[in-house]
Every structure is written in C-alpha cells, then in structure tokens.
Amino acid sequence: MPEVTEGLAGEGLMTRAGSSTAVVLAGLLALSVSACDSSGADDPSPSPSASSPAASPTTSETTSPDPSPSASPSPSGSDIPAAARKQTDAGAEAFVRYYIAQSGRAWTKPDPSLLDGLSTRQCSSCSRLSDVAADLASKKQRYDASPIRISKMKTIRSSSSEVAFEASLVENAVRVVDRKGSTVDSYPERRIVRAISTVWRDERWLLNGIGE
C-alpha cells in the first residue's frame, strides 16, 4: 500500500510570512509514493497509510464555495461541519475546504489554536501554518483578509483510509497589519496548484500533506 511522505519543495502555499513574522515557511511539501505495510494505518507517527494501488482515482471536480470556518474543533471533531465528517470522497473534500478556511481564520484573528487537532504530525506544512499564526499573535499583527481560497478540487487518489486531491488555489491580495491597522507587509494575488492529502483516523479526517 502506498504512503504519503513529505519533503521540502521550494516556494509554496501561504509562504506569506515575510518580514512580519520570525517564522519563514520554507514551502509546501512534495508528495512521493513508496511501498508500505497497511498495518501502520492507525499509527499516529509519520508514515500513515494512503490509498490502495488498486483504487481507481476519480476526476470529479467542484467549484462549490468553502464552508464557513467554525470555532476551534474539539479533539472529537464535533465542531467540524457534518459534511466534512463523512468517510467518503465528498467528506474528505469538505474537510479540506474547512481546513483551508480555518487556516485563513488562524491568520486573520490571529489564533493558532484554530488549527489544533486538524492534521497529522506528518504534515509539517500544517505545523508551519500554525507557527505563523502564533508568531503573528505574538507580534500583535494579523492578515486583513483570508490569505487563500480554493477555486477547484479534483480527486486524484482514493481509498477508504486516504483521499488525495489536486487543488487549484488562489492566494488572495492581502495586507499584514499591526494593532493600529498600519500596513506591515502586502502580497498580490497569485494562483497555484497543489496536491493535498487527507487520512481517515479515529473516525475523522485529518490533513496529512500539502505538496506540489
């Protein structure tokens, strides 16, 4: 059974830490495929299982709007939208949309706890997103609008335990502002395509990787 592993892959999603934060996002993580034993599927350490090689990927696309982010989810995931808690491809997609919306909230409040419990320990890019939110909070800075949104998603690999997508994303034109509203940094709009992997664990979806 293949597994998703991650390695640094140049400039990537939401690298917009800039001079406003001490944390610099090195970039998104590349998706690579290697053989693994399916017995490790429930191990929370790096190397969770991914889709079966026999699974047929789908090519369904959607342009439905992102779900509105809610408060920081509890460990049980009870605050995650119901649509994102179904063990289906559509449920995994709804979870990715929720996660991206929630990461935007984490940078605009800012509040790193909004991302707590939403990813595996393997997703180091997820940790970096939380680190930036924490650094913004410590500097009393924030983004004046959500830094990213999903334009379109396509399922590229699917099994009962993992679903991976190709996501067309828009990095919005945004400003980093201080507590007085003065501009600290600004970024133009940019369109990017990234692979995003989710894994089903403990009766819920978790983000497992973001890569080029």
Q: Which two tokens stand for residue 27?
A: 């970039």
* Structural domain total, the chain: 1
The amino acid sitting at 106 is A
Compute the average pLDDT of residues 41-60: 33
Coil, strand or helix at 167: strand
Task: Select the highest-mean-pLDDT range: 10-14, 29-33, 204-208.
Answer: 204-208
* pLDDT tens per residue across span 88-97: 999 999 999 9
Distance CA 44, CA 149 (A): 28
Average pLDDT score over the chain: 74
Distance CA 209, CA 99 (A): 12
- Which has the higher per-residue pLDDT, 26 or 74? 74
Compute the average pLDDT of residues 20-43: 31
The amino acid sitting at 50 is A
* pLDDT tens per residue across span 98-122: 999 999 999 999 999 999 999 999 9
Distance CA 51, CA 21 (A): 36
Q: In this predicted structure, what is the pLDDT of residue 87?
A: 97
- Furthest CA-CA distance within the chain: 55
Query: Residue 10: what are its φ and ψ, rounded to 5°?
Result: 70, -155
- Which has the higher per-residue pLDDT, 78 or 68? 78
Gap between the terminal Cα atoms of the chain: 21
* Residue 12 pLDDT greater than 70, yes or no: no
* Residue 85 pLDDT greater than 80, yes or no: yes
pLDDT cut 90: percent of the chain above it: 62
* Residue 4 pLDDT greater than 50, yes or no: no
Q: Which two tokens stand for residue 20?
A: 């406003």
Exposed e or buried b per residue across 29-55, where buried means at least 16 C-beta atoms within 10 angstroms of its C-beta: bbbeeeebeeeebeeeebbbbbbbeeb
Residue 46's pLDDT band, with cuts at 50, 70 and 90, is very low
Coil, strand or helix at 150: strand
Closest to 4 measured CA to CA, from 133, 156, 167: 156
Residue 79's pLDDT band, with cuts at 50, 70 and 90, is confident
The amino acid sitting at 68 is S
Which residue segment(s) compose the domain that 174 sits in?
2-211
